[in-house]
């Protein structure tokens, strides 16, 4: 099967599916290679220079790209920058932008209208703009002071999978470089590790348990919560199941009323510290709800914690793919959605 894709400059590209039935699954499997290519593209960039006088950072994106910004925002906050993360559709530029302020817009396509509008506003005020995109010739790049290309290659499925992982990788890698200027990554080991991880994932039992549900709550803390924002978008987008990511400590402030003996809650605790979600899990189980723990996928992984969100999201991407298959849905083309949203 070959899908025809109209790119922004109206040429038609065709990419072969190879042995895969759908692009979404193929693209999840392409993640390690995409990360390797991305690394090769950014390993010589002088990030210390780009960030030298920067004090404030605003991250901007839509959908999945916004969700990767949430991770960047969290990591860069740890480095001491004043950070804020904005939805491009809600971006309101201040009256002036200081020289020490870097705006980072993330967009797979580089054609998302809300991002273009935000970029235009930033450049009108002569703000510094870093663009992270998959498309080197996209409209968004024309506004850029700096461009970082995620080398995820063409993403055909509407759902962003390998691109999200590359975007998170870029943020985590820059975070490491800014923390230690002599930082070196062994990219071959790194990508092999992710490849083995994907090959050995067994998510079948979870797919069976959730595929007939009509709502799913996802709970986590800290950076895990941010991963769940993306995980829940993926399940909503591909499986048409209503999903709600909740910061675990917030359950008792309202959402607990949704829990009954039919509820299934997905819990992510990448720190492997059982105490972290204990209260929330007790709250759910004592109301008859069932908790499916995702840390089982992350056991015995020796990776820097800043890269963990890449590992954490992949089981959710896989699950959303296989639930779509169980439901007889086309995971590559979810209803009502387009790959690139070129209207505001
Ligand atoms: O091309 P962009 O990254 O700017 O697109 C932004 C969103 O429309 C996009 O990430 C969307 O949320 C994904 N299809 C979700 O999988």
pLDDT at 276: 86
Please indicate whether residue 112, judged by its CB atom, sits closer than 6 Å to ligand 1. yes
Question: Does 261 lie in the same domain as 126?
Answer: no
> Does residue 137 sit within a domain?
yes
- Residue 134 inside a domain? The answer is yes
Residues 142-175 have pLDDT tens digits of 999 999 999 878 888 999 999 999 999 999 999 9
The span from the CA of 44 to the CA of 42, in Å, is 6
Express as a percent the part of the chain with pLDDT over 70.
95
Res 210 pLDDT > 60:
yes
CATH of the domain at 221: 3.40.50.10490
**Which residue, judged by its Cα, is nearest atom 11 of ligand 1?**
63
Q: How confident is the model at residue 344, as a pLDDT?
A: 73
- Distance from Cα 29 to the centre of ligand 1, integer Å: 19
CA of residue 303 to ligand 1 center, whole Å: 27
What is the tens place of the pLDDT at every residue in 248-265?
999 999 999 999 999 999
Helix (H) or strand (E) holding 53: none
Q: List the domain range (segments joined by +) for residue 183.
A: 40-187
Distance 62 CA to ligand 1 centre (A): 6
Report how many domains make up the chain. 2
Q: Are residues 251 and 321 in the same domain?
A: yes
Ligand 1 centre to CA of 218 (Å) is 21
Q: Is residue 143 part of a domain?
A: yes
Q: What are 9's two structure tokens?
A: 């400059």
**Ligand 1 site, residue 115, Cβ cutoff 6 A:** yes
Handedness of CA 23, 26, 32, 37 (dihedral sign): negative
pLDDT of residue 214: 94
Query: Phi and psi of 304, rounded to 5°?
Result: -55, 140
Tell me, yes or no, whether 97 and 169 share the same domain.
Answer: yes
Q: Are 143 and 123 spatial neighbours (Cβ–Cβ below 8 Å)?
A: yes
CA 341 to ligand 1 center in whole angstroms: 8
Query: In this predicted model, what pLDDT tens digit does every residue of 111-143 receive, in sequence order?
Result: 999 999 999 999 999 999 999 999 999 999 999
139 and 66 in one domain?
Answer: yes
Residue at token pair 């015995």: 300
Question: Is residue 31 one of the residues assigned to a domain?
Answer: no
Contact 291, 267 (CB under 8 A): yes
Tell me if 313 CB under 6 Å of ligand 1: no
Whether the predicted model's global pTM rises above the 0.85 cut:
yes
- Torsions phi, psi for 43 (to 5 deg): -65, -20
27 in a domain, yes or no?
no
Q: Which tokens sit at 62?
A: 């839509």
Identify the pLDDT of residue 66.
Answer: 98
The helix, strand and coil proportions of the chain, stated in percent and rounded to the nearest 5, come to 45, 15, 35
Q: What residue has token string 């991002």?
A: 115
> Is the same domain home to 222 and 167?
no
């Amino acid at each position: 099967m070959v899908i025809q894709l109209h790119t922004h400059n109206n040429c038609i590209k065709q990419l072969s599916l190879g042995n895969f039935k759908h692009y979404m699954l193929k693209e999840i499997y392409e993640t390690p290679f995409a990360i390797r290519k991305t690394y090769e593209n950014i390993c010589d960039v002088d990030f210390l220079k780009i960030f030298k006088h920067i004090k404030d950072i605003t991250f901007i994106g839509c959908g999945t790209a916004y969700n990767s910004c949430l991770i960047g925002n969290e990591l860069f906050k740890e480095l001491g920058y004043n950070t804020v993360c904005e939805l491009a559709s809600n971006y309101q530029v201040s009256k002036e932008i200081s020289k020490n302020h870097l705006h980072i817009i993330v967009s797979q396509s580089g054609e998302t209208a809300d991002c273009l509008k935000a970029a235009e506003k930033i450049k009108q005020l002569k703000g510094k703009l870093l663009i992270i995109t998959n498309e080197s010739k996209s409209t968004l790049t024309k506004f850029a002071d700096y461009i970082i290309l995620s080398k995820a290659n063409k993403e055909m499925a509407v759902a962003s999978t390998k691109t999200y992982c590359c975007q998170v990788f870029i943020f985590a890698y820059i975070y490491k470089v800014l923390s230690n200027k002599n930082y070196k990554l062994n990219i071959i080991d790194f990508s092999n590790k992710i490849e083995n991880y994907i090959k050995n994932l067994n998510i079948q039992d979870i797919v069976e348990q959730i595929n007939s549900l009509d709502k799913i709550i996802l709970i986590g803390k800290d950076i895990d919560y941010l991963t769940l924002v993306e995980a829940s978008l993926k399940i909503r987008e591909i499986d048409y199941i209503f999903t709600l990511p909740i910061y675990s400590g917030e359950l008792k402030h309202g959402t607990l009323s949704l829990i009954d003996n039919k509820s299934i809650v997905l819990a992510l605790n990448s720190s492997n510290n059982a105490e972290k979600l204990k209260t929330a899990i007790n709250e759910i189980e004592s109301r008859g709800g069932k908790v499916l723990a995702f840390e089982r996928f992350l056991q015995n992984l020796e990776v820097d914690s800043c890269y963990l969100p890449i590992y954490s999201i992949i089981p959710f991407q896989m699950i959303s793919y296989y639930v779509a298959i169980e439901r007889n849905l086309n995971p590559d083309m979810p209803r009502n959605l387009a790959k690139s949203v070129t209207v505001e």
